[in-house]
Amino acid sequence: MVPVKKPHEIEKMRVACKKAALVLEKMCALVEPGVNTYDLDQAARGFMKELDCESACLNYPNSKGKSRYPSYTCISVNEEVVHGIGRINRILKKGDNITLDVVIKSDGFLGDNARTLLLEPVTSDMTFLVKTTQEALFIGIEHAKAGNRVGDISNAVQRFVESRKLSVVREFVGHGVGRTMHEEPQVPNYGRKGKGELLKPGMTIAIEPMVNMGSHEIEISADGWTAVTRDRLPAAHFEHTVLITENGPEILTLLGHKV
Ligand code: MF3
Ligand code: CO
């Protein structure tokens, strides 16, 4: 069953998504050479407290149910694709590519928002990767219209990314989001037009292309969480929580101003 939210639930989603976007924005402002990813995660913990919300990642069980996610946010550097854990000895430096992924819970509802930042100077290949991934997100969002199917989003993202000779990750997908982090439907970044769940007004979904510079293959690190590219080439990831309305998609994790 794909949840369709009622107006009072949508209002709570709006608040939660704004908070997720604010935490992400405040974290982005701290990203600079010399900062370690543990401190960045701890700063996010403080921002969540200030905004009266909590991390939805902390203690999240992994797919095998064997371990629980140990940090407040996900911070993934270079070949790390998603679910990177803040570490005191992971010190950011010039030339790094950093993905920050924030999922918060506020008044029973979740907001999910991620982006990749670059610490200049970087190679033109890295800029191309990050720009393409961000564009892929917006192309996916354009297809998130009532009456379309999930496969229309998936196919648009995949075709765009592959036309640029980059690859989409298969193992992780976008998802419905609401009272829990991963609701129906799954929103893969690959697939066929016209297939999958019908999109209806009131659905809230996280669209999140994860794009690799090299092969799409990933593996999970020894920590049981961090996904890294098998070829150790960089990856990028952008994510917004989107509300399907009668009049097209509405991005709930956008702040009023350009970030
Ligand atoms: N934004 C990620 C997702 O959509 C966050 C998951 S982190 C976890 O899956 F630790 F909670 F798994
Ligand atoms: Co997500």
Q: What is the pLDDT of residues 135-182, one digit of tens each?
A: 999 999 999 999 999 999 999 999 999 999 999 999 999 999 999 999
| Res 132 pLDDT > 90 | yes
- On whether the pTM is more than 0.95, the answer is yes
CA 37 – ligand 1 centroid, Å: 17
Name the burial class of residue 97, with classes exposed (0-12), middle (13-18) and buried (19+) by CB atoms within 10 angstroms of its CB. buried
How far apart CA 246 and CA 135 sit, in angstroms, is 24
Ligand nearest, relative to CA of residue 205: 2
Q: Could you identify the atom of ligand 1 that is nearest to the CA of residue 114? A: 1
Is the CB of 101 within 6 Å of ligand 1? yes
Q: Provide the pairing of β-strand 54-55 with 97-106.
A: antiparallel
Q: For position 64, what pLDDT does the model report?
A: 77
Q: Has residue 258 got a pLDDT over 70?
A: no
Angle at 191 between CA 185 and CA 194, to 5 degrees: 75
Q: Is the CB of 169 under 6 A from ligand 1?
A: no
Are 236 and 222 contacting, i.e. CB atoms less than 8 angstroms apart? no
Measuring CA to CA, which residue among 36, 66, 159, 48 is closest to residue 104? 48
Instruction: Give me the long-range contacts of 149-152 (CB less than 8 A, separation at least 24).
Output: 149/193, 149/194, 149/195, 149/196, 149/197, 149/198, 149/199, 150/185, 150/186, 150/187, 150/188, 150/191, 150/195, 150/196, 150/197, 150/199, 151/191, 151/192, 151/193, 151/194, 151/195, 151/196, 152/193, 152/194
Q: Which domains does the chain have, with CATH numbers?
A: 7-251 (3.90.230.10)
% of residues, the chain, pLDDT over 70: 99
- pLDDT of 256 reads 78
Ligand 2 centre to CA of 252 (Å) is 13
**pLDDT tens column, 87-110:** 999 999 999 999 999 999 999 999
8 Å CB contact between 133 and 238: yes
Tokens representing 131 are 């720009």
Average pLDDT value over all residues in the chain: 97
